[in-house]
Amino acid sequence: MILTSPKSSEKATRYLCDRTESIELFEKLLHESLTSLFKELRDSNWYIREREIVNLFTFGHLVPRFLEQGLDLTMIGIEVPTLSAPRTEKAKIGSPKDLVIWAEPRTTLWKGCELFLGMDLKTLRVHGRKPFAIIEWTATNRIRDTAAAQRVQRDHKYDIEGLIRNLDGGMMTIGYAILVEQRVSPIRMISRRIFGNPATESEFLT
């Protein structure tokens, strides 16, 4: 289901929710954006680090498709905090994620919460806003050694595990883990989709 804003005097703004129609729309945009990013990275070897790739993907590939579909750009967040399912009793309530897609414009995890000094932050896991989608990124590159590449590959697995835990904990609707491998020729992009109840991992982009 894709919701639109009720203000008839303005151009309708589309929202995302956890219905099949929203997921299908977003995955279409994501698939197209990852495909065009991959083609660009093959010919642009100066995008080395993860954050450079994330910014290129967001502004060069995802944003234009959001605009085409009438999706508000404030639904996109780079390195913004989101709530996390606790691994232990003393676990932090959340952490920044590489790329976050909110269900509606101008959202943070605090939206709609009563904020006051001394509030119990653990209640945010119940009342705080959860993202529509989280996309975690890792990237190997040509200027780091094999040991560094192996750490990145482990981080990709940790991303998948974290997304599974957070989806099972009700902290998002859908998640993706993207690994860009630039130490091989031609470069490779591995993308994993985390979805379902319970959460399951599957290949997203082939």
DSSP for the chain, written as a single string: --EE-S-TTS---EE--SSHHHHHHHHHHHHHHHHHHHHHHHH-TT--SHHHHHHHHIIIIIHHHHHHTTB-GGGEEEEEEEE---SSTT--SEEEEEEEE-SSSS--TTTT----TT--GGGHHHHS---SEEEEEEEE-TTS-HHHHHHHHHHHHHHHHHHHHHHHTTS-SEEEEEEEE-SSSS-EEEEEEEETTTTEEEE---
Q: Is the pLDDT score of 1 beyond 50? A: no
Please compute the mean of the pLDDT values over residues 40-56 and round it to a whole number: 94
Q: What pLDDT does residue 119 have? A: 85
Mean pLDDT of 44-71: 96
Instruction: Give the per-residue pLDDT at 14.
Output: 80
pLDDT grade for 103, boundaries at 50, 70 and 90: very high
pTM for this predicted structure: 0.90
